[in-house]
Amino acid sequence: MKRIFLLLVISISLASCSELFLDDDIDYPDTGEPATFYEINVGNSNSGFGNNVVETSLGEYRHDQSSSFKIQAQNFKISELDRNPDTGEIIYTYQPEEGYLGEDYVEILAPTDRNGNQVFETKTYTFQINVSR
């Protein structure tokens, strides 16, 4: 009987501590707010759009906050998140792969910051990307 009780206590202890052994990538819950939607139209370099690289600001964040991809684009040469070290602004940069025409889609998770408190929720930014001539 003592062995069963001891095994039960150990099992419950391990189950309650299991979160401590998970990866460092924390999947914070969504705020429940509607996603912020962006539509990006990208043309090729022959259409007057220059080098067909598009940059979009997600806003300014503290130095200890970052954003990450929930869904990465599929048809890209460049699809990345960078931070402007001077302003703290996070910028999404997209360039389609050479010769690609069509649609692409990206979802980015960014932290929410409520009155300087520790961040436990994220906001979703969706990008509908249209690549045309």
- What are the backbone dihedrals phi and psi of residue 9, each rounded to the nearest 5 degrees, phi first? -65, -45
Q: State yes or no: pLDDT of 117 exceeds 80.
A: no
Q: What stretch of H or E contains 17?
A: helix 2-17
pLDDT band at 113 (very low <50, low <70, confident <90, very high): low
Q: Are 91 and 58 in contact (CB under 8 A)?
A: yes
2-132, CATH topology level: Immunoglobulin-like (2.60.40)
List pLDDT tens digits, range 17-69. 544 443 344 454 555 666 788 788 887 655 444 468 899 988 888 777 778 89
- DSSP three-state, residue 79: strand
Average confidence score pLDDT of the chain: 75
Cα-to-chain-centroid distance, residue 87:
19
Exposure letters 47-75 (e unless 16+ CB within 10 A, then b): eeeeebebeeebeebeeeeebeebeebeb
Spatial distance between the Cα atoms of 106 and 126, rounded to a whole number of angstroms: 6
Four-point Cα dihedral 46, 91, 36, 59, nearest 10: -140
- What does the domain layout of the chain look like in residue ranges? 2-132
